[in-house]
Structure 1
Amino acid sequence: MKEKLKAYRFPIILLSSIIIGSVIGLIFGEEATVIKPLGDIFINLLFMIVVPLVFFTISSAIASMNSMKRLGKIMGSMMTVFIVTAIISSVFMLVATVIFQPGSGVDIPLTTPEEVEEVSLGDQLVNTFTVPDFVDLFSKSNMLALIIFSVLVGVATGLTGEQGRPFARFLTSASEVFMKIIQLIMYYAPIGLGAYFASLIGEFGTALIGDYAKAIIIYYPVAVLYFAIGFTLYAFIAGGKEGVTRFWKNILSPAATSLGTGSSVASLPVNLQAAKRIGVPKDIRETVLPLGATIHMDGSCLSAMLKIAFVFGVFNMDFSGIDTFLTAIVVCLLSGIVMSGVPGGGFIGELMIVTLYGLPIEALPIISAIGVVVDPPATMVNATGDTVSSMLVTRQVEGKDWMKTTEVN
C-alpha cells in the first residue's frame, strides 16, 4: 500500500494543489488573480524549455536510430494511430451531438469580429510547415517547422555515418540535459498550477454561461468518458492489463499539467517523462510525442464536431445525413491537424470550419466562445492521447510482448 501511495505521491500533490487553488479562487473571487504571476512563471518556464527540448529530443532520437527503416516504420505506425484515433473521437462526439442536439433553439446575437486576414490554402500550408528565416525556428509559434527541421537534422546526422557520430552524441547529451531541467521545473509545478487555477476560478468561476450551457454540458462528460473509456481501451490494446495499469499509474501528471496550462506543447516535457516511466522506447516516445503535440488532437476533434453541430443549430441548418456527417468528420481531422499546440491555437481550426462550410464570418465568434470554455478538457484529451498513442505505436513496432522487454523507469 505504501509503495502504491509513493508512486502516486506527486500526482496527488499536483491534484491537491489544483483543488486548493480552485477553492481559493471561489472564496476570494477576482482578488485571487493577485497570485496569477506565480502560475504564469510556471507556464513561462515550460514554454521557455519547449523549443530546445523538441529540437534535441527529435533530432537525437532519429540520429540514434540504427536504421532509417525503423524511422519509417515508426512514422507509418504513428500516422495510422493518429488518424484512426482522431476519427474515433470525432464519431464519439458526433453520436452525442445527434442525440442531444446542441444549438437547437439557441438565440445568439451575431457580432462581427475584428477584421480577419484571409489566407489562401497554399499560403497556409507554406506558413504552417516552413519559415522564411532560420531564426524564426526558435519560436513556439512555428512548432511544425521546427519539427521538420529537427527530423532533417536527425536524418542527416544518421546518414553522415562515422563523421556524424560526435554530433549524434552531442544531440543525445543535450536531450538528457534538457530533460533534467524539466525535472527541476516540475518541483515548482504544485505552486504554479495551484496559483493558476486560483486566478482562473476567481475570474471566471461565477460567470454565467447562458446560451452555451447545453453545449458545454455535452462536451465535458463526453470528453471525460472518451478519456476514461477510450484511452483505457487503447492502453489495453497496446499492452493488455499491464498496459492499462502503467497508463493510469503515470497519466495523472500530464493530465493535470495540460488541464492547467491549456497547451499540449507546454505539457510535452511531463508527457515525455510519463511515457518513459510507462516503458515506451526512447526513439518512439521522442518521435511520437513532439509530433503528437502539434498534429494529433483528439480533444480538438471532439470540440470541432461540437462546434459544427452547434453552429448548424444556430443557423437552422440541417445537421443530418451520411454526407453531412462524413464531411464533418473530415473537417474535424483538418481542423485538428492545423491547430497549434499553444493556448488559443484553435482559432485557426475555427476559421477553417467557417470557411469550409461557407458560413458567414459572424459565425466565428459564436464557435470561438465555445472553444474558450471547452479548451481545458480538450487540451487534456489532446495531450494524454499522445501518451497512449505512443503505447499503440510501440505495440505495432515492437510487437505484442513489448512490455515484457522494455525497461520501466
Structure 2
Amino acid sequence: MQKKSFLTRVVYRYTHISLILRIFIGLVIGALLGIAVPKATAIGLFGTLFVSALKAIAPVLVFILVISSLANGQSKIDRRFGFVIFEYLFSTLMAALVAVGFSFAFPITLKLSGEAFSAESVPSDVAQVLENILTNMLTNPVTAISSGNYISILFWAVIFGILMKKLGSDPSKRLFSDLSDILSTTVKGVIHLAPFGIMGLVFTSVSENGVSIFSDYGMLILVLVASMATVALIVNPLIVFVALRKNPYPLVFRCIRESGITAFFTRSSAANIPVNMRLCERLGLDPDIYSVSIPLGSTINMDGAAVVITIMTLAAVHTLGISVSLPSAIVLSVLSTLAACGASGVAGGSLLLIPMACSLFGIPTNTAMQVVGIGFAISVIQDSMETALNSSGDVLFTAVAEYRSWQKRGKSLPTFLGGETKVDI
C-alpha cells in the first residue's frame, strides 16, 4: 500500500474536523489578531478572497443547477414550493410586526444633524420597487450571471430547464448534470476554506471598527438585535412547530449554526447561496425544490430587512415627534414587507429602502438619508445580523416545506426531529 504524503494526511485530518469547530477557531483567531495586530491588513485578504470566491461561483451554480434539476428531475415543483413562498412572505410580515412592537416598547431618538447621506437609485415607492424587480427579471442572462442578478438568473434558468426537459437530447441533459456535479464539488472545496475566510472577515471587522459604535448607537443596536433574535428564536420556531407539530429547535439551531454563522460574516445572502445549497443536500432535501427556493429566498425572504426598515423608520418618526397610530404602524409593516422583498442580496441593500418607508409619514428625503447614513455606520452589526437571519431562514423554510410533504406521504422525519430517516449530520 502506497504511503500517503504529509500534505495529504494534513488535508485529510483538516477536512474531517467538524466545520463548525474549524469556523469557531478561525473566528477566535481573527478576533485576537484584530486586537493584537490591527495594522496587519494582509490577514483581511483571506476574508476578501473567501467572499469573492462565493460570489463568483454562486450565480453560475444557481443557473446550472436549476437547469439541470428541471431538465433531469423526475419530480415537479409542486405545493411544497408554494408553501415555501408563503413561509417567506408570512415570516417577513411577522418580523415587521415584531419590529413595530420593539419600537413602541423602546422608542429611539437619533441624532439627525449635518448633511444628508447621499446615495443613488433610492426607490420612491413600492410600485417602483416592483417595477425594478420586473425590469431586472428580463435582463440579458449573461449580464445577469456576471452581475449576480438572481431574479433574472432564476427566470432564465427555469425557462431553459423546462424547455431542455421537453426538447433537449439525453447527452445535453447529461452535460448539465455533469456541470452541476463539478460546480457542487467546487463549492464544497470553497466551503472547506471557510475558517480562513471567517478569520479574515473577523479580523477586518475588529481592526477597523473596534467597539466605538456601541457607545454612539448602543440602544439602536440593542433594539435591532433583540428584534431579530426574537424572530429567529421565537417567531420562526413557532412557524415550524405549527407546520410540523415537532420540536422546532433542533432544525432552527442547525440552520443558524451551519448557515447563519457564515452569512453573519459574509453579509451577503447571495454569497451564502452555495453554503445553503450544501446544507440542504445534507438535510436530505429535494434538489428540484431547493435549487430554486434557496436563490429565490435570497431575494424575497427578508425578515431581517423588514426589521431594519421598520425600526429605522420609526426611530426617525420618534425623533421628529410624529405620532404613530396602530393602523399606520400596521400599514408600515405591510409596506416594509413588500419593500424588503425588493431589497438586494448585498451588504446594506435594505438601508436604501428606508426613505421610501419614511415617506409614509411625510419625512423628507434629506432627513431620511441621514437615517440611512446611521444605518451604514452600524452596518457591521446591523447588516451581519440581518443577513444571518435572512439566509438561515431560507434553509429553514425550505426544509419545513419538504418535511411537511414527508409527513403527508407517510415518510418518517429525520432523526433529529424525532423520526427514523437518517440524514448527513
- Find the counterpart in structure 1 of residue 5 from structure 2: none
- Find the counterpart in structure 2 of residue 15 from structure 1: 24
Task: Please give the residue correspondences for 1:24-43 in structure 2 after superposition, counting only pairs within 5 Å.
Answer: 24-29=33-38, 31-43=39-51
Alignment pair present for 1:93 and 2:99: yes
Q: Distance in 1 between matches of 2:60 and 2:352?
A: 25
Task: Please give the residue correspondences for 1:176-195 in structure 2 after superposition, counting only pairs within 5 Å.
Answer: 176-195=181-200
Cα offset, 1:375, TM superposition: 0.5
Q: Which moved more, 1:341-350 or 1:301-310?
A: 341-350
Task: Please give the residue correspondences for 1:10-159 in structure 2 after superposition, counting only pairs within 5 Å.
Answer: 10-29=19-38, 31-66=39-74, 70-103=76-109, 106-114=110-118, 116-117=120-121, 121=128, 124-131=132-139, 133-159=140-166
Instruction: Identify unmatched segments of 5+ residues in structure 2.
Output: 1-14, 414-418
Question: Does the 8 Å contact 2:273/2:295 carry over to 1?
Answer: yes
Cα offset, 1:303, TM superposition: 1.3
Task: Please give the residue correspondences for 1:232-381 in structure 2 after superposition, counting only pairs within 5 Å.
Answer: 232-241=237-246, 244-249=249-254, 251-319=256-324, 321-362=325-366, 363-370=368-375, 372=379, 373-381=381-389
- Find the counterpart in structure 2 of residue 408 from structure 1: 423
User: CA distance change for structure 1 residues 170 and 398 in 2, over 3 Å: closer, same or farther?
Assistant: farther
Cα offset, 1:150, TM superposition: 1.1
Question: Does the 8 Å contact 2:310/2:333 carry over to 1?
Answer: yes
Cα offset, 1:294, TM superposition: 1.3
Q: Distance in 1 between matches of 2:265 and 2:357?
A: 26
Question: Does the 8 Å contact 2:141/2:156 carry over to 1?
Answer: no
How many residue pairs match? The answer is 395
Per-residue CA deviations over 1:49-102 (Å, capped at 9, x if unaligned) read 0111110222222333446xx424233222211111111111122211111112
Q: Distance in 2 between matches of 1:151 and 1:171?
A: 14
Q: Distance in 2 between matches of 1:340 and 1:406?
A: 37
Q: Distance in 2 between matches of 1:169 and 1:136?
A: 25
Please give the TM-score of this superposition, normalised by the length of structure 2: 0.84
Percent identity between the aligned chains?
21
Please give the TM-score of this superposition, normalised by the length of structure 1: 0.87
Larger helix share, 1 or 2:
1
Task: Name the amino acid aligned to 1:46.
Answer: L
Q: Distance in 2 between matches of 1:169 and 1:238?
A: 37
Question: Does the 8 Å contact 1:238/1:394 carry over to 2?
Answer: no
Per-residue CA deviations over 1:282-302 (Å, capped at 9, x if unaligned) read 212212111101111111111
- Find the counterpart in structure 2 of residue 3 from structure 1: none
Q: Distance in 1 between matches of 2:405 and 2:183?
A: 27
Q: Distance in 1 between matches of 2:16 and 2:390?
A: 24
Q: Distance in 2 between matches of 1:49 and 1:165?
A: 26
Cα offset, 1:117, TM superposition: 4.7
Cα offset, 1:14, TM superposition: 0.5
Task: Name the amino acid aligned to 1:62.
Answer: L
Q: Distance in 1 between matches of 2:34 and 2:264?
A: 16
User: CA distance change for structure 1 residues 53 and 212 in 2, over 3 Å: closer, same or farther?
Assistant: same
Cα offset, 1:255, TM superposition: 1.4
